[in-house]
Amino acid sequence: MRILLVEDNPDLGEAVENRLRKSGHSVEWVRDGLAAAEAAGHDSFDAVLLDIMLPGQDGFAVLRDLRRRGVDAPVLVVTARSEIDDKVGLLDLGADDYLVKPFDLRELEARLRALLRRPAGQTSSTVAHGNVTLDLAGQAVTVAGQHVEFGRREFRLLEILLARAGQVAAKDRLMTQLFGDEADVSVNALELLVSRVRRKLEGADIDIVTLRGTGYRVQPRGSKE
């Protein structure tokens, strides 16, 4: 599943992200309320993990905004607050469940499984487009059945682009998703990263096309769109 993680604590955020990725989920981690609103406006997610005490815009405002805009993904609120009024208020705003810090990561996963459970049963940890397959749990890529070695950031770029296949992934947003707060990184680093991934997809039946001045899009190889 594709999960939006909204958590400003770097240690907790990293622990949760790593745990969910090892379980086969695709995770986008943002660190403040404004970034959460932007992410939800650009991409679709299967679930949202939302901290309450956030810089920029707190979790109450984020949750209110998500529901007002019609985002119906289940929201699991993670908060250090234990007052019953906060819990009731969050549920009234549209949260599906809440978890009070500190918590065990196993409980977090169990709560998520309950929210994400569908009649079809277990979901796959692989994503396939044409003859390209990503194993999200194993962080592995195969092209036409052959394993291709991808670095961590290369894998993340391909994962993001495939999640938005057929849509434009904006350069500035990719810079944030891939390089975070690394102030000394220029857009050239993104272009080099895209170039490396393209070379590794030479045997694929999908292309990463450049939309000059805008960003990149994955589409079937040879498509005129």
CATH code where residue 130 lies: 1.10.10.10
Query: Are 6 and 111 found together in one domain?
Result: yes
Under 8 Å between Cβ of 96 and 138:
no
Which residues are within 8 A (CB) of 80 and not within 5 positions of it... i.e. 6 or more apart? Answer: 52, 53, 100, 101
Query: Are 71 and 39 found together in one domain?
Result: yes
Query: Are 106 and 157 found together in one domain?
Result: no
Confidence class for position 137, pLDDT limits 50, 70, 90: low
Query: Are 108 and 131 found together in one domain?
Result: no
Residue 140 lies in a domain: yes
Q: Is the pLDDT of residue 76 over 80?
A: yes
Q: Supply the pLDDT for residue 41.
A: 77
Residue 121 lies in a domain: no
Query: Are 108 and 151 found together in one domain?
Result: no
Domain span at 102: 2-116
Residue 225 lies in a domain: no
Residue 175 lies in a domain: yes
Q: Could you say which of 95, 116, 137 is where a domain stops?
A: 116
We report the CATH number of the domain holding residue 102 as: 3.40.50.2300
Under 8 Å between Cβ of 81 and 101:
no
Q: Supply the pLDDT for residue 173.
A: 83
Token pair 């857009």: residue: 187
Confidence class for position 123, pLDDT limits 50, 70, 90: very low
Q: Is the pLDDT of residue 84 over 60?
A: no
Q: Could you say which of 116, 148, 181 is where a domain stops?
A: 116
Per the structure block, which two tokens stand in for 117?
């459970």
Residue 198 lies in a domain: yes
Residue 112 lies in a domain: yes
> Which among 14-23, 97-106, 176-185 has the top mean pLDDT?
14-23
Q: Is the pLDDT of residue 80 over 80?
A: no
- Least confident among 48-52, 102-106, 202-206: 102-106
Most distant CA atoms of the chain, gap in Å? 57
Q: Enumerate the H helices of 58-179 as residue ranges.
A: 59-68, 84-93, 105-116, 152-163, 171-179
Token pair 């459970």: residue: 117
Q: Is the pLDDT of residue 113 over 90?
A: no
Q: Supply the pLDDT for residue 120.
A: 36
Confidence class for position 146, pLDDT limits 50, 70, 90: very high
Q: Could you say which of 76, 91, 116 is where a domain stops?
A: 116
Query: Are 42 and 135 found together in one domain?
Result: no
Q: Is the pLDDT of residue 205 over 80?
A: yes
Query: Are 112 and 131 found together in one domain?
Result: no
Average pLDDT over residues 61-68: 88
Token pair 């809440």: residue: 98
Q: Supply the pLDDT for residue 4.
A: 94
Per the structure block, which two tokens stand in for 164?
């938005």
Q: Supply the pLDDT for residue 119.
A: 38
Under 8 Å between Cβ of 62 and 51:
no
Query: Which strands make up the sheet holding 47-51, listed edge to edge?
Result: 26-30, 2-6, 47-51, 75-79, 97-100
Query: Are 31 and 95 found together in one domain?
Result: yes
**Domains held by the chain: number:** 2
